[in-house]
């Protein structure tokens, strides 16, 4: 399976208080026919997870009101598959990796990011998720 197949119709939720970042990520992934929902609020993002059930979450760490760490902890407390959504932390500080992983993110990426690297990372997580789902279905 290649990147185009993995990203085709993938549901991607992006949470960031920076409108330019949201627009850039939307632009990148819509080229691969992914469905992108974006929000500047963790409260709204939490509702999107519960109602839309995205395949992958990308979340900024440094946001007003509620940071990415508190947000991912709430997500991980959700029941069933919703709480297990693969999640990428976006951070301006490379030193945040241990905190991001300990909080519950699957991986992280430092801002500013290379769009090709983000596509590869999302594709990898989507591929891993599809393998896990197909294994669970065959059990």
Number of domains in the chain: 1
In a domain, 57, yes or no: yes
Interval 95-139: pLDDT, tens? 878 899 999 999 999 999 999 999 999 999 999 988 876 666 665
In a domain, 86, yes or no: yes
In a domain, 22, yes or no: yes
Q: What is the CATH number of the domain that holds 13?
A: 3.40.50.2300
In a domain, 89, yes or no: yes
Q: How far apart are CA 88 and CA 74, in angstroms?
A: 15
In a domain, 135, yes or no: no
Interval 75-95: pLDDT, tens? 999 988 889 999 999 998 878
Residues spanned by the domain of 65: 3-130
In a domain, 138, yes or no: no
Q: How far from 29 is each of 20, 51, 99, 105, 123, CA to CA, in Å? A: 14, 21, 27, 20, 10
């Amino acid at each position: 399976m290649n990147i185009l197949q993995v990203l085709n119709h993938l549901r991607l939720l992006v949470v960031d208080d920076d409108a330019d970042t949201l627009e850039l990520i939307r632009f990148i992934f819509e080229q691969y026919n992914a469905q992108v929902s974006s929000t500047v609020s963790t409260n709204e993002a939490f509702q999107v997870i519960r109602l839309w059930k995205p395949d992958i979450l990308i979340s900024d760490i440094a946001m007003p009101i509620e940071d990415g760490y508190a947000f991912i902890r709430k997500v991980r407390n959700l029941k069933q598959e919703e709480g297990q959504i693969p999640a990428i932390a976006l951070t301006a500080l490379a030193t945040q990796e241990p905190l991001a992983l300990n909080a519950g993110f699957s991986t992280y990426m430092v801002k500013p990011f290379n769009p090709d690297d983000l596509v590869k990372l999302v594709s990898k997580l989507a591929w891993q998720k599809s393998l896990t789902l197909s294994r669970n279905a065959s059990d």
